[in-house]
Amino acid sequence: MSFYLAIKEVWRNKGRFLLIASVVALITTLVLFIAALAEGLASANREYIEKLNGELLVFQEGTQLSTTASRIGRGSIAELRRVKGIEAVGQVGFSTLKLVPPDGGEDINVSFIGVEPGMPGEPTVYDGQQLMRASSNNVIVDEGVVARLGVKVGDAIRLKVTQGTQEEFYDLTVGGLTDRRQYFFQPAVFAPILTWDKIRPGGDAGDPSADLVSNIAVVKLADPAQLETMKTAIEQNVKDVEVADRQRAWEAIPGYAAQQSTLTTQQFFTFFIGVLVVGGFFQIQTLQKVAQIGMLKAIGLSNWTVGWTAIIQIVTVNAIGVAIGAVGTLALTANFPVTVPILLTGTAALTTVLALLAIGPLGGIVSVFVLLRIEPLRALGMAQ
Amino acid sequence: MIALEAINVTKIYGTGANAITAVDDVSLSIKRGEFVGLVGPSGSGKTTMLAMLAGLLKPSRGQIVIAGKDIGRMSEGKRTKFRGRYIGFAFQANNLVPFLTAQENVDLLLRLNGKFNRQGRQRTLDLLERLGLSDRLQNRPGQLSGGQQQRIAIARALIHEPEVVLADEPTASLDTERAHQVVQTFAELIHEQNRAGVMVTHDLRMCKYVDRVIQMMDGKISRVITDAREISRLAGAADELDGGYVARTNGKPALAGDPMVAVQGI
Ligand SMILES: Nc1ncnc2c1ncn2[C@@H]1O[C@H](COP(=O)(O)OP(=O)(O)O)[C@@H](O)[C@H]1O
Ligand SMILES: [Mg+2]
C-alpha cells in the first residue's frame, strides 16, 4: 500500500518531484566536483612524493619539512649511507623552470627534479630507459608533460632557465616516460642530479669542486615496517637532519593542509544545504497535505502506511537526484583535460554518493514525524 | 439487525472550569438498511457525535458498538484498522486523494481490505456506472466537478461493504440540484446494499431522503422524527425557505445557516 501510494504520487506529480530531484542532482554534482577538485589539487601537489620508491624523506633540520628551504649535502648523504637498516639513499633536488614547446606555444612551467640514477627518488619508466649516468642529457618526463607536448622517447625538449636577468636554453633528450608525477601543481621533468645542478637557476653551473647540494634525500629502508625506529635512528646518527614519512612530507607542502580543509568545509556545507533543501521541500509538502493525510487516516490507513509512504518518496526522490547528479558528473569529469586539477577517483565518488544517499533523506525525516502526528479527526475539520 | 449503537455516550472537552459537555448522555441505535439524518443548530454536538460514531474520537463516557464491538475500548491502531474495514466515510471536503483517478480512489478501500480482486474491481466499475461516472474513471479529482467528486466519495464509502456509512455535510459545497441528486442516490444505495447510514446535515431539505431525523440541541437529542409524512413536511417547509435561512427565531438571533432553529420557529 505504501509503495503503491508513494509511486503513484511521485509519478502523477512528476514535474514537482523532478524539480526537487534536479536540485538534489545539482547538489550532488557540486559535492562530487568539490571532492574531485580536492583530490585533483591534492594529487597535483603530492603525486611525486606519494609515489616515491622510498619510505622516508630527509630534510635539513629546522626547515619545517620545506623542500625549498632544506639543503642536504654529500656529507649528510655519506652519513646516511652508514646508518644500519638503510638499503639505499638518493639525493633529490627541486626547482621550477619553463619548458619551451617546439611549436612556439606558450612556455609550460615544470618541476625540474634532479635524482640520482638507480637511487630512491628516480621514477620508474613505462617506456624508454631509466636514467643512466649522473650527468647525461637524457631525462625522464611524466604524463603531464606527455599530455601537454605529445613527446615520445627520443624526442628533444628545450628548457628555459632565467639566471639572473639572462635567459638560457638547454636542449635535452627524452629518454623515458613515467606516469603522472606532478609536484607543486606542475608536470615533472627528471634529470640526473649533476645535470640538474648544472641547469637549475642558481646552480653551480657544473663547478666540480663545489659540494653537490640537493634539497632532500630519499631513503629506502631494508625493512619498511621499521619506519618509526629508523626515523629515530637517522635523526640520532646524522647531524642536522629531520625525517618525515611520505604523508607527513606532503602534508607539509605549503598550503596543502589549508586547501584540503577549506574544500572539506565546503563539501560539508554543501551536504548540509542538501539536507535542508530536501527537508524543506518535504516539510512544505507535508504541511500542504495535512487535510488529505487526516482523511487517509480516517478511512483506515495506518500511521505505518502513511509514514512509509513518505519515507519511500523521500528516499526515491533523493536517490534519483543523486543518480542523475553522479552520472552527469562522471560523464563530465571523464572528459576533462589532464591540465585541469579534477580527479574523481572511484573511492571518492562512491563515498560521496553513499554519503549523499544516506544523509539526503535525513532532512525529510522531520516531515515524517509531522505526518505521524496528524490526527484522523482532521477529516471532520476537527482537532483535539 | 442493529448495526450501530451508542449507549449513554458523553463527550466533555477540556477540564475544570473550561469543560464543555458537547454530547450529553446520548443513546441511539441504527439498523441495517436504515438512513438517519443528524440535524441541529451549530454547536449542538452533531460533529462530535459523528466523530465518536466513526471511531475518530473516544467518548468520555458510554460505549459505541459497531458490529458487536465496543470501539471505545480499542487501541488507536486497532480502531484505525476497524474504521477501514467496518466504516465508510463521505466528508465535507478533502474527500479524495488528489493524485489518484476516480477509479483508483474507490479501489483504495478494496486494496486496504485485501479485496482488490477481479470481483472487487468489477464492483467498482458497476458502482461508478450506477453513479453516472463511467466516462470519468480515469479522471483525477481536480478534473471533476464538486458533484462528481462527492459521488466518487459515496462510491468509496460503500465499495468495501462496510457495516456503517457516515457522511458529514456531504452536500455543503453543492448547488441545490446536485445536492438532491447526490443524497438521493446515496439513500438508494444504502437501502439497496443494506447498510446503516448516518448523515450530518445543515440542509433540512436533504432530510427528504432519510428514514429518521434525529435533532440535537445542546448535546442532547431534542427530537426524533420517524414518521415519513412528518419528515417530508419538514423537508418541504425547509424547501420553501431555501434550506431554512431566517435571521431571527423567537426573538433570539440564530446563527447563519442554522435551519433547524428557523424551521422550529415555524
Ligand atoms: N476540540 C474541541 N475543544 C473544545 N470544544 C469543542 C471542540 N470541538 C467542539 N467543541 C465544542 O463542543 C460543542 C459541540 O460542537 P460540535 O460537535 O462541533 O457541534 P456541531 O457540529 O453541531 O456544530 C460546541 O460548543 C463546540 O464549541
Ligand atoms: Mg459541525
Contact by Cβ (8 Å): B152, B102: yes
With 70 as the cut, is the pLDDT of residue A323 above it? yes
Name the closest residue on chain A to residue B79, using Cα atoms: A300
Q: Which residues have a beta carbon within 5 Å of ligand 2, which is an ion?
A: B 47
Question: Which position has the grid cell 434550506?
Answer: B243
Residue-wise pLDDT tens digits, A219-274? 999 999 988 999 999 999 998 999 999 999 998 888 888 888 998 898 889 888 88
Q: What is the pLDDT of residue A274?
A: 84
Contacts of A380 in chain B (CB under 8 A): 47, 50-51, 54, 56, 91-92, 168
Contact B84 A384 (CB under 8 A): no
Give chain B positions within 8 Å (CB) of A302.
77, 80-81
Q: Give the DSSP per-residue string, B200-243.
A: E-S-GGGGGG-SEEEEEETTEEEEEE--HHHHHHHHHHHHHTTT
What band does B266 get if pLDDT is binned at 50, 70 and 90?
A: very low
Residue B256 has a pLDDT of: 42
Whether residues A376 and B112 touch (CB distance < 8 A) is answered with no
| pTM (predicted TM-score) | 0.81
Closest Cβ opposite residue B99 in set A1, A9, A297: A9
**Position with higher pLDDT, A383 vs A320:** A320
φ and ψ at residue A18, rounded to 5 degrees: -65, -35
> Which pLDDT does position A345 carry in this prediction?
81
Residue B265 has pLDDT above 90, yes or no: no
**CA of B43 relative to ligand 2 center, distance in Å:** 7
Rounded CA separation A37/B234 (Å): 80
Q: b vs e for B91-124, b when ≥16 Cβ sit within 10 Å of the residue's Cβ?
A: bbbbbbbebbbbbbbbbbbbebbebbeeebeebb
Name which residue leads in pLDDT, B14 or A344.
B14
Q: What is the pLDDT at residue B255?
A: 43
Q: List alpha helices for B34-101, DSSP H.
A: 46-53, 76-86
Quote the radius of gyration of chain A (alpha carbons, Å).
30
Q: Please state, rounded to an integer, the average pLDDT across all residues of chain A.
A: 89
Report the pLDDT value the prediction gives residue B254, as an integer from 0 to 100.
42
Least confident of A134-148, A303-317, B155-169: A134-148
Q: Which residues pair with B69 in a beta bridge?
A: B66
Read off the pLDDT of residues A161-213 as tens digits, 9 standing for 90 and up.
987 788 889 999 999 999 989 888 899 999 999 999 888 887 665 566 678 88
Q: Residues A100-135: pLDDT tens digits?
A: 998 888 899 999 999 999 999 999 999 999 998 877
Instruction: Report residue B170 as a C-alpha cell.
Output: 456531504
How far apart are the CA of A293 and the nearest CA of chain B, in angstroms? 9
What's the confidence (pLDDT) of residue B246?
A: 38
In this complex, is the C-beta atom of B81 within 8 Å of any C-beta atom belonging to chain A? yes
Nearest to B90 by CA among B109, B64, B111: B109
The ranges assigned to domains in chain A are 2-46+256-379, 62-239
Chain A, residues 282-301, CB within 8 A of chain B, namely 291-292, 294-301
Which ligand 1 atom lies nearest to the CA of residue B47? 21
Region B2-262: CATH code: 3.40.50.300
Structural element, H or E, at residue B142: none
Chain B residue numbers with beta carbons less than 8 Å from the beta carbon of A303 are: 77, 80
Q: Does B115 touch chain A (CB under 8 A)?
A: no
